[in-house]
């Protein structure tokens, strides 16, 4: 069961984040995960867990039922929002954008993708910024009050997309 939770965390999930999402204490989490680490299904790297093979993680993640999939990703997003120190510095908004999108919560996915795009731009992560602005455009029509939620009009988002494409070296995509 815990491997299923971990699979929703992505390629690398921290011990504290997994504890927060699973509801287990850090000691209980260690006890429950020890067999997976001993069996080499999970590897430990610093304070993180990584599936030994990406295909194992993908198989476990693909086995999640639709409702379970959405609930797990929403739990990750809420845990990160409650304590941003659970993820590496400057990754909280980007991680939340991913999890809200995977949870199919279009309102929160839109708002967090817009904020994450701004964070990515400040970090000079141009390709990531472009992908996030494209996600905002993808979700725009699904959120009735999108402009109010993000504080920008559709034309401002389009301008941001053009600028992000240019900065990412994807000039054709920005035209």
- Each residue's pLDDT tens digit in the chain (175 positions)? 999 999 999 989 999 999 999 999 999 999 999 999 999 999 999 999 999 999 999 999 999 998 999 999 999 999 999 999 999 988 999 999 999 999 999 999 999 999 999 999 988 899 999 999 999 999 999 999 999 999 999 999 999 999 999 999 998 887 7
For residue 161, CA distances in Å to 74, 97, 155, 157, 167 come to 27, 17, 10, 6, 10
Nearest to 23, CA basis, from 60, 61, 78: 78
């Amino acid at each position: 069961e815990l491997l299923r939770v971990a699979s929703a965390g992505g390629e690398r999930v921290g011990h504290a984040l997994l504890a927060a999402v699973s509801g287990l204490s850090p000691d209980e989490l260690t006890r429950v995960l020890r067999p997976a680490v001993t069996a080499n299904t999970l590897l430990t790297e610093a304070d993180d867990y990584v599936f030994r093979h990406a295909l194992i993680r993908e198989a476990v993640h693909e086995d999640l039922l639709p409702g379970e999939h959405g609930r797990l990703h929403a739990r990750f997003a809420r845990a990160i929002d409650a304590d941003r120190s659970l993820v590496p510095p400057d990754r909280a908004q980007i991680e939340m954008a991913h999890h809200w999108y995977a949870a199919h919560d279009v309102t929160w996915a839109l708002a967090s993708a817009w904020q994450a795009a701004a964070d990515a731009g400040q970090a000079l992560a141009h390709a990531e910024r472009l992908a996030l602005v494209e996600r905002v455009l993808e979700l725009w029509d699904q959120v009735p009050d999108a402009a109010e939620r993000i504080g920008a009009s559709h034309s401002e988002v389009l301008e941001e997309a053009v600028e992000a494409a240019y900065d990412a070296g994807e000039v054709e995509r920005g035209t």
